[in-house]
Structure 1
Amino acid sequence: MKDTEKAIKSEAELIRQIKEGDDAALINLCQLYKPLINKIKSMYHVRYYDNQDWEQDAMIICHESATSFDLNKGKFSSYYKTRLTNHARSLVRYDNAYRRQALKQSISLETAKKNHILPLNKSFASIPEIPLSENIAILTARLSDLEINALLVGLGIKDQEDVINNLKISQLTLARARSRLVQKMRQTLLS
């Protein structure tokens, strides 16, 4: 009985410390509820969610729960368990949403080859036999200085306003250069 009272008092102290912004108290409180976190993690399977994701979410929810918990009402363990369970259920609902069913039903190319599953007949651009690095070298040799600047703007390396001001061109001129760049990319990389 004394151990239970001591745990409740230390839990209340940790919650007070978390409300004051103590990160170490948050880690200690999460360690205190590690068995609960592991139980909920084992109950709900979420695709592409690993242990680090669960622990991070559990810590975030623990922090939110501690900061919003009223020490004069109920038990923190029940409050935290409810919030963590609701979060896990939301993740499962999101994972099982109807519009994501196609992703769950997809299979890898290796599995398709192993099971002799043929792809749908759809027209697609064939991958050139020339290595991509050679195609890029050919493309850059074909580009003018203005088109190279348009490429750098498109890649986010240069700022559009800086290019317009440095080259003393209009926004329309840069847009036309971008259009020519796209045409040359299609001709060089897809043919």
Structure 2
Amino acid sequence: MEKKNEYDLIIGVKNKNDEDLRELMQRYMPLVNSIKKRYYIRHYDSDDWDQDAMMICYETCCLFDFKLNKSFGAFYKTKLSNHARSLLRYELAKRREPYRKAISYEVATTNGMVNEESRELSITPEREIYQKYLTNLSKLELIATLFLLGMMTQKQACSLAQCSYMQLLQAKGRCKKKLTQELK
């Protein structure tokens, strides 16, 4: 099979020929890879870049005018670079700054940035609200409350409740939610 020239491939893409688009993309993969290396976009992997590059290649073929433009490669490179810059501008926008700096709760607890054991919740059992709160708790939730108050270590609480650490944390969350509802 004879290799098509760039002109025939662009005409084929304009006529909605998928094979011509794939072949044109293969020819310009080094360009796409150089753009990938030049710009880092968070949460953008290689497949995302390839997909965007193919869509931009199709769009560029549809817009390409043989009379006005001499080089398809230069036109495609400009369109792809502009797209990458737009993505970067969007990512670096001031209002999205908190999202760039955000880390997951699991990472924060694993790295010791959040110390769940040190948080305390003051409960004075004399009050009727707190008594009602305590009577509505399950055994696991009572143990989680003791853990929350710092009266038990994690190991003691998990052993007494016969549960995993994750179950204890979930029970602790339910306790906080129930207390908040009682205090309303």
| TM-score greater than 0.5 by the shorter chain | yes
Distance 2:58 2:111 in 1: 48
In the other structure, the counterpart of 1:82 is 78
Distance 1:24 1:50 in 2: 24
Instruction: Report the TM-score when normalising by structure 1.
Output: 0.57
Distance 2:81 2:106 in 1: 36
Evaluate the alpha carbon distance shift between residue 18 and residue 116 of structure 1 in structure 2; reply closer, same or farther with a 3 A threshold.
Answer: same
Which stretches of structure 1, 4 residues or more, deviate above 3 A after TM superposition? none
Correspondence 1:17 to 2:12 = yes
Per-residue CA distance 1:122-157 (angstroms, 9 max, x = gap): x9xxxx879xxxxxxxxxxxxxxxxxxxxxxxxxxx
Query: Identity across aligned pairs (percent)?
Result: 42
1:116 Cα deviation after fit: 2.7
Distance 2:138 2:45 in 1: 39
Evaluate the alpha carbon distance shift between residue 39 and residue 129 of structure 1 in structure 2; reply closer, same or farther with a 3 A threshold.
Answer: farther
Distance 1:21 1:52 in 2: 22
Larger RCO of the pair (alpha carbons < 8 Å, separation 6+): 1
Distance 1:71 1:55 in 2: 25
Aligned partner (choices 46, 57, 71) of residue 62 of structure 1: 57
In the other structure, the counterpart of 1:108 is 104
1:1-191 correspondence runs (5 A)? 10-72=5-67, 73-118=69-114
Q: Which runs of 5+ in 2 are unaligned?
A: 122-136, 140-176
Instruction: Report the TM-score when normalising by structure 2.
Output: 0.59
Say which SS state the counterpart of residue 70 (structure 1) adopts.
coil
Aligned residues: 123
Per-residue CA distance 1:13-53 (angstroms, 9 max, x = gap): 10011111111100000000000000001100001011111
Q: Which runs of 5+ in 1 are unaligned?
A: 1-6, 131-185
1:79 Cα deviation after fit: 0.2
Per-residue CA distance 1:71-95 (angstroms, 9 max, x = gap): 1222100000000000000111111
Question: Which residue identity does 1:86 align to in structure 2?
Answer: N
Distance 2:90 2:138 in 1: 41
Distance 1:112 1:60 in 2: 38
